[in-house]
Chains A and B, each alone.
Chain A
């Protein structure tokens, strides 16, 4: 049977007759591609930042464990950890009780500020963000010698007025098993950090430069050279890994070495803005996907109804069920592939344009929006395949039933 001529003519007829529905399908699928690509690239860019900057790459080690005796966190063991592959930064930590006072207040007999804090080393990658900083000091900067960060509130008092002030830090230098003398250190308050949700470090943490903290902690252990003695150990240790994958591997490696890993990898959550964006994108993707399947199946249903008479003529001319299935499903597959390919092409153009516009206007917030966002190949292939699949899905049973209908029944259609 001469199916080729009929296939070509029918395909043209279907493309012409259903151009409005097919056009809607192209637009819907193109939007799906563009949405997925632009938002996806934004999320990926954000996730890359997370990968290097977030707590996902932090590992917390503790000097004590709920059961058993873990390896001590000594200066030597920290050196060993620093040598491990993927370990970017290693900080020994402890909480050292210190008091803080305003020297000017002391001189005048009117103490402007007096408080007791827990001094800790500052490593911004796993500690609360700075909410107010002294001029000339950026929250992104690491603390330098003589610089400190205070909590934003202390016993209900707002400490932000202390930002920029120079205060006196008093700590203890151990001189015997039960004896010690006070030591003083002058610090500049370069900022206050958000302690509305204190979490791990508590609401009275005071962050010092790592070197200053070493000096304070070493004094508490009785050392006078400002260095933690080889016999001394930290209560906790923090390891910054190069990537999330490195963090997972390092956590296992440290456990194998006998250290107690209290937490590794942190909370595997995207920042709220990115998470919302990702959720919205998922909803859009599902909606557009359902839209595509719905349009495809509706179109296939209408198409099958219109082809009923055609199939009746063909069966009356002796076309077999198989020939009819092959010809008409091929027609739908060709139409679907054409629509899918056009949708993928339009989606790609739309993605590039949207990416540039989003970059220029920061539509998606202040995150790292790439200038050129390309749709993922899997999405493009998915669209190219999904459209014909939806059409075939919607039409298969109808065409099969039609091809087996007596010609007389099929021909009784109202033109």
Chain B
């Protein structure tokens, strides 16, 4: 499903690449745990995989299609139909309700699907509550509901259990595990060891050397 080969990414203001020469693959149903210390490039890798930014070199294929050099329209379409990202900070619209936040990435007729996804993350009955009035943990769960409701074949999650207590973290990890079990290729970026048990493979990024 996902094939990454010799991927490197550096920023204009830094001589040393954030990630360098990375190669790995994730098949459907697999859960890849990307671990590593802070600053090792975990989120940068996730942004490249989520088509939110590009890499400087290497190859990144989803179902055989090269994504790094793909036209903007193809990348946008892939973000909509192929890859879903759960952001570390949720990235919800504070002035929209929970269900409307989920529906922002979907067709309005799929309201029942959005509500089911919210119920799956324990947010049943809170669909109409504005995201801005929710706690960080609740926002994280709505963000996962938004990503899973879209039923894309690739699901990426950036520190999904960061800051959650064991009970909430367990619920979130269970959702990710269920996604993997349903055939979705899941990549979880986290420094939290609680992710380990659900992962089918682990990629540990080395600490980045100072430029």
Contacts and interface: CB of A to CB of B under 8 A. Distances in A.
Indicate, yes or no, whether A interacts with B.
yes
Interface string B47-88: 100111110000000000000000011001111110001010
The residue in A1, A13, A320, A408 that gathers the most chain B C-beta atoms within 10 A of its C-beta is A408
B91 A316 contact: yes
Contact of B106 (A2, A12, A310): A2
B24 interface: no
A12 B72 CA distance: 31
Nearest to B147: A317
A13 B95 contact: yes
A6 B104 CA distance: 7
A6 B93 contact: yes
Nearest to A310: B93
Interface in A399-413: 404, 406-409, 411
B196 to A, nearest CB: 27
Nearest to B78: A318
A317 B79 contact: yes
Interface residues of B, number: 28
Contacts of B52: 316, 406-408, 411
B107 A411 contact: no
A310 B93 CA distance: 7
Interface in A4-42: 4-6, 9-10, 12-13
Nearest to A407: B52
A308 to B, nearest CB: 13
B91 A1 contact: no
B107 A318 contact: no
Given A318-B79, A320-B73, A1 B96 contact: no
A-side interface mostly: helix
The residue in B52, B78, B107 that gathers the most chain A C-beta atoms within 10 A of its C-beta is B52
A224 interface: no
B93 A9 contact: yes
A1 B80 CA distance: 9
Interface in A292-349: 310, 312-321
A314 to B, nearest CB: 7
A315 B47 CA distance: 13
Contact of A319 (B51, B76, B108): B76
Contact of B81 (A318, A319, A408): A318
B100 interface: yes
8 contacts: A4-B108, A5-B103, A6-B100, A6-B104, A312-B91, A316-B87, A404-B72, A407-B53
Interface of B: 47, 50-54, 72-73, 76-81, 85, 87, 91, 93, 95-96, 100, 103-108, 146
A-B pairs with lowest CB-CB distance, top 7: A318-B80, A408-B53, A318-B79, A317-B105, A407-B52, A408-B52, A2-B103
Given A6-B96, A321-B72, 20 more contacts: A1-B80, A1-B107, A2-B100, A2-B108, A13-B95, A312-B91, A315-B79, A316-B52, A316-B85, A317-B79, A317-B80, A317-B104, A317-B146, A318-B77, A318-B81, A318-B105, A407-B53, A408-B52, A411-B87, A411-B91
